[in-house]
Amino acid sequence: MPSSKGPAAWRGCAVAREAVEALLSRIPRAASSRLLEGASPHAILAAFYAARLCRLEGCSEETAAAAALAYKKGAEEVLKAGLPQHIAHHVRGAVEEAEEAYLRSPSSQYAMIILDADALAHIGAFTLFNISTGYAASLEALLQAALESLSYAVASDYILYTRAAKRLASSMKPHTLAYFNWVAEELTSLGMKARVRIESTIGGTVAYLDLETCPCGGETVKDKVVKPLANCTKYIIGFSCSGCGFSARAETCIPETTRAR
């Protein structure tokens, strides 16, 4: 796991970091880069969950994210980033209550939110993806993994040669589809709409994680390219969002069907 200091941590958990950074930039006069500086990958993921929980519970996403970072980094360190007084007040109070939760149950909404977010950052398909990649996966890496794994899974019906491989694939395919469906469901429940799509093309079947909203909100613009090559069919999926300059691209090349060889 990357260190909680330096560039490795700054790259860490980039899927969540992209959303958290955009969120913190909304806080007037606060230095969003300083809020994230030195934060561990787990802290960034917890801040992501805290913001999403507040969206569902009706509290301030920005305050929740800042409080979650303060809970893991230390309140005084976060308060040095120049938070507005009303946010700083909630952050300080939430952290104090959360740190004493082993003595008494918290009463403030933000204290409960950051404790719950800390727990959620340990579980789920989205968290598992971050852990399995050493917390270094970007949203683009998630889309790449989905395109490649899902497309090979759905193409396994017609690209494999041996009976043994076909038997193995028949058990692996539903697990692959289920996993990325779980990732999509979790992202959607957290406010970043996504779904698994399976489409037939001139070169065969392609499947991918369709990101319908950007990390910072708003709808994505999607581009798809199918390029038949000599030894495979290349699929390219691109997503962009003009509202925050987000862009991601994934590509894979699936062998042609064995029936055509």
Q: Check residue 136 and give its pLDDT.
A: 61
The candidate with the shortest Cα–Cα distance to 252, out of 154, 148, 145, 140, is 148
Could you give the CA distance from residue 191 to residue 182 in angstroms, rounded to a whole number? 14
Give me the residue spans of the domains in the chain. Answer: 6-125, 139-260
Could you give the CA distance from residue 114 to residue 66 in angstroms, rounded to a whole number? 10
Q: Check residue 12 and give its pLDDT.
A: 32
Q: Check residue 259 and give its pLDDT.
A: 55
Q: Check residue 1 and give its pLDDT.
A: 31
- 236, containing H or E segment: strand 232-241
Q: Which residues of the chain have pLDDT under 50?
A: 1-13, 260-261
Could you give the CA distance from residue 64 to residue 98 in angstroms, rounded to a whole number? 13
Q: Which residue has tokens 């990732």?
A: 183
Question: Which two three-digit tokens encode residue 54?
Answer: 């507040």
Encode pLDDT of 141-173 as tens digits. 888 999 999 999 999 988 888 898 899 999 999
Could you give the CA distance from residue 68 to residue 20 in angstroms, rounded to a whole number? 11
Distances (CA, A) of 203 to 6, 9, 32, 112, 147: 45, 41, 46, 51, 15
Could you give the CA distance from residue 210 to residue 201 in angstroms, rounded to a whole number? 16
Question: What pTM was estimated for this model as a whole?
Answer: 0.72
